[in-house]
Amino acid sequence: MSVKVEVIEGGVPHNKIMIAGLVSTLVCIYLTYLNAYTNTEMFSFFGGLAVVAALIWGSHTIKVLCSYGIGTGVPSAGMIAFGSGTIAMLLATKYGMMAPIVALVLAAIIGYILGYVSNNILNMKIPAMVQALTEMAVVGALTVMGFAALISGGFTFAGLTTSTASFMGLPITSYANSFIGGGLIAVAFLLGAIAIQHPFNACLGPGWKQDRMLMLTAECGFLSMIVAAVMSFALISAGSALISLIIAIIGWAYTYSQYFEMSKRDAAAWLDSKPIPDVEGH
């Protein structure tokens, strides 16, 4: 039997964050589909916004789960989220336009079964376990899909495994120069896994405040988005990648300064120490 160690005092209820996170993630991922309609790659940055939205939802789910003291450390939750999520995401990319929905359903099934396995077979008996693992698998799947859309401009299996390069004027299909074939998916995997587990790991304790943790999550998300936007220069046009990069940097600067403000607000006493003054007279 387990006892809940921390309680949520005030703040937005978890279900509200879950629904808001899910809807905004799906909408943002689908907005990258404008690329296909307008035949540009300008809308790839919506993938990065989807990543940030999914991470905010996911880090709050980790807070709900890890409040019970699972005894394995907070990072393990991020690892299982992305482990199960990536598996679902890779299969879902085969379904073209339906990919985000398929990823959602498939990840939920995988997460539910893993939740049952850990709660019953492994005898964890944590009330929030099944729901939390289900949610985290979905977050993992949608985050990797958001990174895929940000870096390569699409989320279909064909788009993620091939790219067209020009060789002496003739278009040739390249498989190595792609999101999956080039191994960029591994970087996306760990960028997301670190960003999802860090905020609660850093903010937990008696002084935990919901808005401060979620702001840190957004900051981590935009920081990951900066790295992913830099990687996207390899696969999409430079102008589109630049748009993603600028949005990521603006988002990061804003969330970082906000997080800094909140940390000052929650600190017991904030003393702005000046440089050591020059003492005159000796």
Partner 1 sequence: MSAVAAKPTAGGAMNPTAMAVGVVMLIVILGACWYVSPTLGLTALIGIIIGGVLIGFGTHFVPVGGAPAAMGQAPGIATGVAMLAAGAGLAGLFGGAWAAEQGMVIAVVTGGIGGGMMMAITCMMVNFVYVFGMGIPAASGKVLNDPITGDSQAEYKSQGTEGHGLPFVSFVGGVIGGILGGAGGTLIYLELLSLYEATFPTLMSATTAQIMPVAVAVAGMFAVAMFLVNAVLTAYNITGTIEGPHDPKFKRWPRAIVASAVASALCGFVAILIVAM
> Residue 91 has which token pair?
């299969």
- Residue 210 and residue 267 in contact, taking contact as beta carbons nearer than 8 Å: no
Residue 71 C-beta: closest distance to partner 1, Å:
4
Task: State the DSSP code for 117.
Answer: I
Cβ proximity to partner 1, 13 vs 69, nearer residue: 69
- With 0-12 / 13-18 / 19 or more C-beta atoms within 10 angstroms meaning exposed / middle / buried, residue 258 is middle
- Residue 229 and residue 115 in contact, taking contact as beta carbons nearer than 8 Å: no
Q: Does 253 bind partner 1 (CB under 8 A)?
A: no
- Residue 185 and residue 86 in contact, taking contact as beta carbons nearer than 8 Å: yes
- Residue 145 and residue 29 in contact, taking contact as beta carbons nearer than 8 Å: yes
- Residues 45-104 binding partner 1 (CB under 8 A) are 68-73, 75-77, 79-80, 82-84, 86-88, 90-91, 94
Residue 123 C-beta: closest distance to partner 1, Å:
4
Q: Does 121 bind partner 1 (CB under 8 A)?
A: yes
β-bridge mates for residue 171, sequence order = 166
Cβ proximity to partner 1, 232 vs 240, nearer residue: 232
Kindly tell me which residue out of 189, 200, 208, 252 binds partner 1, with binding defined by CB under 8 A: 189
Residue 40 C-beta: closest distance to partner 1, Å:
26
In angstroms, the CA 83 to CA 79 distance is 6
Q: Does 170 bind partner 1 (CB under 8 A)?
A: no
Q: How many CB atoms lie within 10 A of CB 10?
A: 8
Q: Which residues of 170-206 are buried (b: 16+ CB within 10 A; e: fewer)?
A: eeeeeeeebbbebebbebbbebbbbbbbbbbbebbee
Kindly tell me which residue out of 4, 16, 264, 265 binds partner 1, with binding defined by CB under 8 A: 4
> Residue 266 has which token pair?
């929650």
Residue 8 C-beta: closest distance to partner 1, Å:
15
Kindly tell me which residue out of 29, 180, 215, 231 binds partner 1, with binding defined by CB under 8 A: 180
Per rule CB under 8 A, count of chain residues that contact partner 1:
53
Cβ proximity to partner 1, 174 vs 258, nearer residue: 174
Of 171, 221, 165, 216, which Cα lies nearest the Cα of 193? 221
Kindly tell me which residue out of 19, 97, 176, 250 binds partner 1, with binding defined by CB under 8 A: 176
Cβ proximity to partner 1, 137 vs 226, nearer residue: 137
Q: Does 110 bind partner 1 (CB under 8 A)?
A: yes
Contact residues for partner 1, defined by CB under 8 A: 1-5, 68-73, 75-77, 79-80, 82-84, 86-88, 90-91, 94, 106, 110, 113-114, 116-118, 120-126, 158, 161-162, 173, 175-176, 178, 180-183, 185-186, 189
